[in-house]
Structure 1
Amino acid sequence: MPRTPAVASPRLVNWQQKGFVLFANWSDHLSASTPRLVVLLLTVAALLAVVGRIWSERRTYGTLSFLGAATKWTGVAVCAALALQVVQLSRPYAVPATGQLAVVLGNTQNSPAPQLGHEVSKLVESTMLLHKGETAQEVLEAFTFVSATGHPEVVPLASLGLPFVDVSRNDTRAKRDVRKNAGLLQEHLKGLPPADNGANYLEAILVAAQNVDPGTNILVVGSGLSDSGDLDFAHDNLLTNENRRTEAVEELADKYGSQYLAGVTVSFSGLGDTAEPQYPLSEKQRGIVREVYEQAIKALGGRVEIDTRSLTGSPVSTEFVVDATDTECGPLDRTFTEDAIEFVSDEARYVDADKVGAALQGIVDIYNRSPQNVTGINIAGFIANPSQAEKISRGGMKLSRDRARAVLRSLADMGVARSKLHAEGRGFGPHNDPDRLELDRMVKVTIDRDNPDC
């Protein structure tokens, strides 16, 4: 009879996770401060000297009665100093403020809305305090915010009309002013929608680095789950393929060089934390996401801090989509704009069938990995609304349905079981932007799965 594999108890796993966090905190503190490392080593050396003296007394006289008061009090002082250092080193490392601060916002569909948590808020306020006596406009200019969409761009804070206040020269008033400004910033950022489809966190980090002075801290608040770029979790099997993860990091170093982020500290908050429609990642998968970014930033010469406390909540309200990262559990969405699947105007005929086949190959690959777990694949067709009509015509609805059916036939021809395919027309796309009609000419594919291992 086969043995049941041993499974670590939840309590043991919990203690292991706490141990990893403590080790990371110690490593962060000591690597950031050589004096602190020296003090710790001197304290340990002093403790060893006291222990050696006590041991010598015990071995010589068989008792500690002759131990001098100086040795006793030295031992107490050294133990107290060591205990204090242990407490300080065990706390999460707070990146010291500089005159500027860059923040990468995960204001995308697959991540909880950006939140300035306690540690992030402290750094924001510390940065503002370095600008005592300056106007609200000057304080705003110290911050660079980048939205981690498929095409990352700097968010123009100055044009948003945030009612920032000037920061007083007086210490007490300055603290009050920066708390107010930080609160305003938090309220605005948590509802700031993206301006495009997709997510590309690494490129957003690089954009942030290009728009600030060397040595500026960069904070990243979001899941890190990109669907494009050099760390494409949605399409590049980074979660499930260790070799591919290694290759991706090596390719980064070759592409940008090992000093691209030299002098830059990148602090992450919320890596691997997701929001619907992205299926949640397991603890192991969240660890993989953190590991990938840590290795990537270090490969580019940067320093990394990762806050492992989870971000929760709903994403910002948006119609812009992000391709889901495949956890091999639950439903998986893929959205194809006309960049991937382009139809002849007013027809359900492809402009380039080979290009469409290449785009759909990813769906076929996911199906082929575990066809027994796929319960259905739904294809929804959408069309643009150039005339801004209030109601779609019967012909428009038919066109969206016919285009979905064209994709269904393509998937069936590529080997997907016809019985698992379903097509429907949804009419006009959700964006309804007359200046960007291409966003609504799209096909959305949803793969429903029932994986017994999940």
Structure 2
Amino acid sequence: MSRTLPRLLSLLVAMVLLAACGGGAAEPPAATDPAAMPGCPPTSGALALAVGGHANGPAPALPPDVEGMLAAAVAVPAGQPGPPISLIEIDGRPMAVVSGQVFRSDAGNDDALAADRAQFSADVADAVARTTATTAEVDDLAGLDMAARAVHATGPTGTVVLIDPGLSTVAPLDFRRPGLLAADPADVVAFLHAHHALPDLHGLVVRGYGIGDTAPPQPPLPLAQQAQLRALWSAVLTASGAACVTISSWPHNGAAGSGLPPVGLVPLPSPPVIDLGSGVPTVLADDSAVGFLPGRDVLRDPQGAADLLTPVATWLAGDPARTVTLTGTTARWGDDAGQLDLSLRRARAVASVLVSLGAPADRIHTTGLGSHFPGYRPDNGPAGPLLPEPAAHNRSVILTPSGS
């Protein structure tokens, strides 16, 4: 049997152990039949794993689905090569750790062939588990681009697997910038396209794992932000030309490795504080519990919105002299009529929640200002598309209480 990949991976493991001062691989989960995976069908061609082993994310491990992909990659007869396999380490400057290695066995019987297959798969899983960042920050787009180029170098089809929290901290996709985590995925795609920053994933199946799963000191993302981040990555991968995209709900838990280069923390939005007795307006920002699906008047997190607005409904019901005005605002996209309509519908959606919680409907006033309101931030970039962060800031419902 050809031992090229096991020898290479053994050397890699030794080097990483010296650099990282220890840390063992987790027990790998049972393999999954690729034919049973939801979403994208199995595909022929090379396999590239883009893996984050950096600070603020759980230590890398192979999901069961990917165990199944490896099992399929080595399921070739003795003497025949399997598809090329590459491993890309994601940090602030991603690099190829293993490039285009193949499984080939010259075993003379089924037992020896099975042992060779198991050893090759175990070596790949071990290398993934020991992937360690060498550069500060996280550049997922560059890692995906490098993985795609590794696959495209061998043919037009194949699979790219992303195993990472997805909280990139390198421009132009730097989630530390306020509002980006809540941005409309379409705005982010247009912004990246205008900056020629989308990776070339044409013809490839792309599978994402662990998106939104973080490790201390990065605070965990609330469920609504996790869903938003996965939707954003799905949009980016699709716009990059992927033939099929799946974002798995596989939970990637655990601590990050030790002694890793620093990665900036992505700030999470603080819940709005509604001071009902002061009469001061409160901005219910789009990254709060009262945020909406892109271009619609449907709340992303209805239960979270109800929890936030319950004290307002109780306060309104407690005194007939009390009222609230809900003012919707939007980004400056499309014509004024469309902006005014959407902003009003979103204000009315918040009013409907208050009424469902027991607030008297006749003491709730709604209006929509579109993008023409005090506090508007310019959100049109010089290249044409919306700037995601100020556009997210401009999408809100402003709650103004009146009465003691």
Does residue 102 (structure 1) correspond to residue 44 (structure 2)? The answer is no
Instruction: Tell me, in whole angstroms, the C-alpha distance in 2 between the residues paired with 1:257 and 1:229.
Output: 9
Q: Is residue 199–residue 225 contact of structure 1 (8 Å, CA) maintained in 2?
A: yes
Aligned to 2:59: 113
Structure 1, residues 265-291: CA drift from partner, whole Å, max 9, x if none?
Answer: 110011000111110001111111110
Aligned to 1:283: 223
Post-superposition offset of 1:166: 3.6
Q: Among residues 189, 197, 204, which one is paired with 2:128 in the alignment?
A: 189
Q: CA distance change for structure 1 residues 328 and 124 in 2, over 3 Å: closer, same or farther? A: same
Instruction: Tell me, in whole angstroms, the C-alpha distance in 1 between the residues paired with 2:108 and 2:50.
Output: 29
Aligned to 1:299: 239
Instruction: Tell me, in whole angstroms, the C-alpha distance in 1 between the residues paired with 2:52 and 2:77.
Output: 27
Instruction: Tell me, in whole angstroms, the C-alpha distance in 1 between the residues paired with 2:106 and 2:209.
Output: 27
Superposition misfits of 4+ residues, deviation over 6 angstroms: none
Q: CA distance change for structure 1 residues 324 and 157 in 2, over 3 Å: closer, same or farther? A: same
Q: Is residue 132–residue 174 contact of structure 1 (8 Å, CA) maintained in 2?
A: yes
Q: Among residues 327, 335, 338, which one is paired with 2:268 in the alignment?
A: 327
Instruction: Tell me, in whole angstroms, the C-alpha distance in 1 between the residues paired with 2:179 and 2:106.
Output: 48
Post-superposition offset of 1:110: 1.6
Q: Is residue 97–residue 123 contact of structure 1 (8 Å, CA) maintained in 2?
A: no
Structure 1, residues 105-126: CA drift from partner, whole Å, max 9, x if none?
Answer: 0111121111112111110121
Does residue 240 (structure 1) correspond to residue 179 (structure 2)? The answer is no
Post-superposition offset of 1:223: 0.5
Letter in 2 for 1:282: P
Instruction: Tell me, in whole angstroms, the C-alpha distance in 2 between the residues paired with 1:232 and 1:131.
Output: 45
Aligned to 1:350: none
Post-superposition offset of 1:193: 1.4
Q: Tell which has more relative contact order, 1 or 2 (C-alpha 8 A, sep 6+).
A: 2
Task: Give the match's secondary structure for 1:219.
Answer: strand
* Pairs aligned (count): 235
Post-superposition offset of 1:222: 1.2
Aligned to 2:161: 219
Q: CA distance change for structure 1 residues 298 and 132 in 2, over 3 Å: closer, same or farther? A: farther
Post-superposition offset of 1:264: 1.0
Q: When the two structures are superposed, what TM-score results if normalisation uses the length of structure 1?
A: 0.46
Letter in 2 for 1:232: D
Aligned to 1:199: 138
Q: CA distance change for structure 1 residues 260 and 189 in 2, over 3 Å: closer, same or farther? A: closer
Q: CA distance change for structure 1 residues 168 and 251 in 2, over 3 Å: closer, same or farther? A: farther
Task: Give the match's secondary structure for 1:199.
Answer: coil
Letter in 2 for 1:219: V
Instruction: Tell me, in whole angstroms, the C-alpha distance in 2 between the residues paired with 1:106 and 1:259.
Output: 17
Instruction: Tell me, in whole angstroms, the C-alpha distance in 1 between the residues paired with 2:178 and 2:73.
Output: 37
Does residue 123 (structure 1) correspond to residue 69 (structure 2)? The answer is yes
Q: CA distance change for structure 1 residues 215 and 158 in 2, over 3 Å: closer, same or farther? A: closer
Aligned to 2:210: 270
Structure 1 gaps of 5+ residues are 1-87, 331-368, 370-454
Does residue 310 (structure 1) correspond to residue 256 (structure 2)? The answer is no
Structure 1, residues 117-137: CA drift from partner, whole Å, max 9, x if none?
Answer: 211111012112247425xxx
Aligned to 1:52: none
Letter in 2 for 1:261: L
Aligned to 1:376: none
Aligned to 1:228: 170
Letter in 1 for 2:139: N
Q: CA distance change for structure 1 residues 291 and 158 in 2, over 3 Å: closer, same or farther? A: closer
Q: Is residue 103–residue 146 contact of structure 1 (8 Å, CA) maintained in 2?
A: yes
Aligned to 2:388: none
Task: Give the match's secondary structure for 1:239.
Answer: helix
Instruction: Tell me, in whole angstroms, the C-alpha distance in 2 between the residues paired with 1:232 and 1:132.
Output: 47
Q: Is residue 100–residue 212 contact of structure 1 (8 Å, CA) maintained in 2?
A: yes
Q: CA distance change for structure 1 residues 119 and 200 in 2, over 3 Å: closer, same or farther? A: same
Instruction: Tell me, in whole angstroms, the C-alpha distance in 2 between the residues paired with 1:123 and 1:278.
Output: 30
Letter in 1 for 2:266: T
Structure 1, residues 285-340: CA drift from partner, whole Å, max 9, x if none?
Answer: 1111110111011112112111112111122223301111111359xxxxxxxxxx
Q: CA distance change for structure 1 residues 96 and 292 in 2, over 3 Å: closer, same or farther? A: same
Q: Is residue 133–residue 260 contact of structure 2 (8 Å, CA) maintained in 1?
A: no
Q: Is residue 226–residue 233 contact of structure 1 (8 Å, CA) maintained in 2?
A: yes
Instruction: Tell me, in whole angstroms, the C-alpha distance in 1 between the residues paired with 2:140 and 2:73.
Output: 23
Letter in 1 for 2:213: D
Task: Give the match's secondary structure for 1:192.
Answer: coil
Q: CA distance change for structure 1 residues 171 and 119 in 2, over 3 Å: closer, same or farther? A: farther
Aligned to 2:296: none
Instruction: Tell me, in whole angstroms, the C-alpha distance in 2 between the residues paired with 1:171 and 1:97.
Output: 25
Does residue 208 (structure 1) correspond to residue 147 (structure 2)? The answer is yes
Superposed, 1:8-407 pairs within 5 Å as: 92-93=38-39, 95-130=41-76, 132-134=78-80, 142-156=84-98, 166=105, 168=107, 173-213=112-152, 214-235=156-177, 237-242=179-184, 245-256=185-196, 260-302=200-242, 303-328=244-269
Q: CA distance change for structure 1 residues 129 and 169 in 2, over 3 Å: closer, same or farther? A: farther
Instruction: Tell me, in whole angstroms, the C-alpha distance in 2 between the residues paired with 1:220 and 1:155.
Output: 15
Instruction: Tell me, in whole angstroms, the C-alpha distance in 1 between the residues paired with 2:106 and 2:160.
Output: 23
- RMSD (Å), alpha carbons: 3.3
Q: Is residue 58–residue 257 contact of structure 2 (8 Å, CA) maintained in 1?
A: yes
- Greater share of helix: 1
Q: Is residue 50–residue 88 contact of structure 2 (8 Å, CA) maintained in 1?
A: yes
Q: When the two structures are superposed, what TM-score results if normalisation uses the length of structure 2?
A: 0.52
Between the two proteins, what is the percent identity of the paired residues? 24
Instruction: Tell me, in whole angstroms, the C-alpha distance in 1 between the residues paired with 2:119 and 2:43.
Output: 18
Post-superposition offset of 1:199: 0.5
Instruction: Tell me, in whole angstroms, the C-alpha distance in 2 between the residues paired with 1:126 and 1:293.
Output: 26
Q: CA distance change for structure 1 residues 258 and 117 in 2, over 3 Å: closer, same or farther? A: closer
Q: CA distance change for structure 1 residues 276 and 259 in 2, over 3 Å: closer, same or farther? A: closer
Instruction: Tell me, in whole angstroms, the C-alpha distance in 2 between the residues paired with 1:147 and 1:168.
Output: 32
Task: Give the match's secondary structure for 2:91.
Answer: coil
